[in-house]
Amino acid sequence: MDIDREEIAQKSLALHLKHQGKLAVHSKVPVQTREDLSLAYTPGVAHVCRYIAEDEKRAFSCTLKRNTIAIITDGTAVLGLGNIGPTAAIPVMEGKAILFKEFAGIDAFPICITGDHDDLISHIRSIAPVFGGINLEDIAAPRCFEIEEELQNLGIPVMHDDQHGAAIAVLAALINACKVTGKKFRELTVVVSGAGAAGYAICRLLKCIGYEGQTCTAVKELIVCDREGIIYRGRQGLYHNIYKYLLGDETNRMLRTGTLSDALRGADVFVGVSTGNLVTADMIRLMNPDPIVLALANPTPEIMPDEARAGGAAVIGTGRSDFPNQVNNVLVFPGVFRGALDAGATKISEEMKIAAAHAIASYVKEPTPEKILPDPLDRGVAKVVAEAVAEMAKKCGCVR
């Protein structure tokens, strides 16, 4: 399916101008009579306030908090547009809010704010009482890592979707790609291009960095590349970025050096979360037989599917909807937050993320090279993900 991107761009602009945005607030209760007014507002609502004041957890049972997510951005890493600021980010956050509603029945609202690291932390903490969860979105690395880490004590789930949504979707894709190719997950050598938010989280999940116990299965070897080439322990300048330093310390045990092309030699999997047109068919030919290629840069993948196929790729995924195997976060975040809210989770644990990945993979009963993930528009995915996440939240004690 070919998409005329200019046509889509103009139609999208027309839609936004026509409706003046995509999101609105609708009342759940009538306000037609004096009694309606007394029940919904004063004087009746005062009793509800006193009821909550006695125990703040009661807000989850009688206010919007039970089913409302804040989608928070500072506009520093919006789609492929970069740092366009919080006001220009509103259409993306509105779009995500309607996806929450459509796929998981969650009320979500865009909160687009400015400020430095401390300002953002303070702002988010100050508005948290009204929300049941926080979805961090389109915040540039490394700030996004620091903010997410510092907010884990809010008592409600906080997840940076650009990191963990991408990592969960990639893990689900690899689980099924291994079924198709006959490769064993524990024996995979994986090359990741991109060490930003998505790349960092994907690497942590595939190598179980920071994951405890037996819940996480690590691939055999992981090599990460950034703009300067392969990341390895001791690479000059790496200590300036604590997150890349961690990747250098925990991956690439053979201390390989060189370019992305050097990294791909003898690899089983390529995961691209970087920029378009970095990889050629000849580079794919350097990989082991039947390689798995997930070229997720948007709108232009690191390598187009036809070229990857010409290089011998057995399974190919992209981030685009006009090719098979779209690796899309919409498979992840609605169900993860639905499950977290339903369970009364206080956080989204590592175990919950892994449960989500396996639920997504299992949804595809018979994976094929053209079908390793569910259709992103399949409404049933969020339901099974939510059930798996809620069950795991209770098992790992991450509930109120």
Provide DSSP, 246-306.
HHHHHS-TT---S-HHHHHTT-SEEEE-S-SS---HHHHHTSPSS-EEEE--SSS-SS-HH
Tell me which amino acid residue 39 is: L
What is d(CA 292, CA 312) in angstroms, rounded to the nearest whole number? Answer: 9
Residue with tokens 């991109």, as numbered in its chain = 194
Q: Are 196 and 190 in contact (CB under 8 A)?
A: no
CA 99 to chain centre: 13
Sheet of strand 158-160, all strands in order from the earlier edge strand to the far edge: 107-112, 68-73, 133-136, 158-160
What would the two tokens of residue 170 be? 């990639």
Say which residues have a Cβ less than 8 Å from residue 381's Cβ, sequence separation at least 6.
103, 331, 335, 360, 363, 374
Q: Are 318 and 329 in contact (CB under 8 A)?
A: no
CA 382 to chain centre: 14
Continuous H helices in 85-196? 90-104, 117-127, 143-150, 161-181
What is d(CA 250, CA 287) in angstroms, rounded to the nearest whole number? Answer: 22
Nearest to 139 by CA among 106, 116, 167: 116
| Positions marked active-site | 41, 96
